[in-house]
Amino acid sequence: MGKFEGIFIATDVDGTLVKSDTTISEENIEAIRYFQSEGGIFTIATGRYPDYVKENYAKHISINDYLISLNGNIIYDMNSNCKVRVSKMDKADTQDIMDYIMNTFSDKINFINVCDEDESYRYEGSVERDTCKCVIVANDRDAALEIRDNLRNRCTGTHNIERSWPTGVEIYSKTSGKGEAVKYICSTLKPGIKKIICVGDYENDVSMLKAADTSYAVMNATDEAKAAADKICPVDNNNHAIAWIIRDLENEGI
């Protein structure tokens, strides 16, 4: 039995696993391979689609398990190349939220993308069908914070409203998110998991950090992510944070 048998790591990608130039460092790649060779289960939790992950990351690291995609709205089986679970928002409810946003904040928004389970499209006044999430790209950080806070008050109990980057505000169902996806994988799809480790840097990672047995925020994480984490890495995403975490787990005898 390997030293990481039964240990599950789920990490965010942008600002966490990858460097600012969007590449994965060799140090992180080697550490992930070592973790997996010792029985550990490694996956990523991203706001992007599965095809993007396959094209950009799967050739560097082995994700031979369940992928958390679209910020937890899709759980994807990388072995059989199929969706295992998809969470969606009702078309009419989403249209109502979009109407409110455009009536209230049209002068503070660059554009909105609507993300279905297979593709995204630019919002131009009509929500075409039930959808996984909507992404508002605000004019600047202050506008994004204003939109986020307003929508959190309006949609309390029904939707998650979280920033994924300084000017990006995402909307999706309260019953989804990275944290819910991690819990579903470890309770239903892989019930033999002994310990859940989650790593992140931003608001959309907070639910995942809270769902973990032990969670890490990278040094460059937001204050909100750091407050939700059990541990703060002494290094940032440009300095092999995932490799540091795997060494920390090994040193603690996990």
pLDDT-derived band at 222, boundaries 50, 70, 90: very high
Q: Which of 143, 173, 203 is the C-terminal boundary of a domain?
A: 173
97 and 82, same structural domain? no
| Residue pointed to by tokens 């004019």 | 139
In sequence order, what are the residues at sequence separation of 6 or more whose Cβ sits closer than 8 angstroms to the Cβ of residue 65?
41, 42, 43, 78, 79, 190
Output the pTM of the full model. 0.94
Contact 194, 3 (CB under 8 A): no
- Whether residue 254 is predicted with pLDDT greater than 80 in this model: the reply is no
- Whether residue 142 is predicted with pLDDT greater than 80 in this model: the reply is yes
pLDDT digits (tens, 9 = 90+) for 62-83: 987 899 999 999 999 999 999 9
Q: Which of 120, 152, 173 is the C-terminal boundary of a domain?
A: 173
2 found inside a domain: no
Give the CATH number for residue 187. 3.40.50.1000
In sequence order, what are the residues at sequence separation of 6 or more whose Cβ sits closer than 8 angstroms to the Cβ of residue 192?
6
| Residue pointed to by tokens 């996956």 | 43
Question: What is residue 78's three-state secondary structure?
Answer: coil
180 and 114, same structural domain? no
Phi (first) and psi of residue 68, to 5 degrees: -100, 115
Amino acid type, 66: Y
pLDDT-derived band at 59, boundaries 50, 70, 90: confident
pLDDT-derived band at 15, boundaries 50, 70, 90: very high
Amino acid type, 240: H
3-state percent breakdown (helix, strand, coil) of the chain, nearest 5: 40, 25, 35
Report the share of the chain in percent with pLDDT over 70.
Answer: 100
